[in-house]
Homo-oligomer: A and B are copies of this chain.
């Protein structure tokens, strides 16, 4: 068992941190809004006042926050984790961020004498709570070897992507893109089925019972078929940010992704209309509206 820290106790981080505790690790936690740490404190976690304080004495520090700016601030800012982290310790970065951000932070760690691995988490908050996440992992081989056992209690399995931590960030962006692509595809098909007279639900039931019998189509498709976009796994602005990261990365590589642009546009409209209290899957409404439904 290791001495670990966990920074960022949002809907994903809370479940992940709890599973580290349950696995027997010694855990110090930090969250900007301290109240969210209470349930973990009850389970034995220590609450730190700053990321630096949380990192002090830890062999490994997990981070799970909303965006690149937050991750950068809590890593390299005045009270950031680097200010407390011992040389040789490991930063396990689980957030969805730009590959370039991962590269930049890895360089900051190298200068500090510590290491960063990127370990993005695939799954919704309920999967985080149930230790059913899938995890990517990339970074220097030796560091990966140290971090991998810590990831075990968080999910169903860990896939490694080599020595460059940015590669795991790329994989995470690809994964989220593919989810959005499947949502757009189902939204178009179910809308056609509705206007044709087949109905949304019969088409959905057929697809997930046959060719598309996998969790993504079951879970997101159920929302699209029923037009009931709750509970909120992730709200539209958060995943819209992820698609911006996909497109920024693709633009830097001169790799056109028209389908990613289409989904990004749907989500921009969703955010522009302040539909923020639904799951991001609700961008499927745009497809129906464009066909004159739900007006």
Contacts and interface: CB of A to CB of B under 8 A. Distances in A.
Interface stretch (A21-29, A30-38, A42-50, A167-175): A167-175
Nearest to A291: B255
A72 interface: no
A177 B202 contact: no
Interface string A168-204: 0011011101110110111011011101111000110
Interface residues of A, number: 79
Interface string A226-258: 000000000000000000101101110111111
Given A253-B196, A255-B268, A269-B292, A178 B185 contact: yes
Contacts of A197: 164, 167, 170
Contact of A189 (B178, B216, B244): B178
Counting every copy of the chain, the complex holds 4
User: Which 9 interchain pairs have the tightest Cβ spacing?
Assistant: A272-B292, A181-B185, A214-B214, A256-B265, A255-B291, A254-B272, A134-B210, A174-B189, A195-B253
Interface of A: 99, 122, 134, 136, 156-157, 159, 161-162, 164, 166-167, 170-171, 173-175, 177-179, 181-182, 184-186, 188-189, 191-193, 195-198, 202-203, 205-207, 209-217, 244, 246-247, 249-251, 253-262, 264-265, 268-269, 271-274, 286-287, 289-292, 295
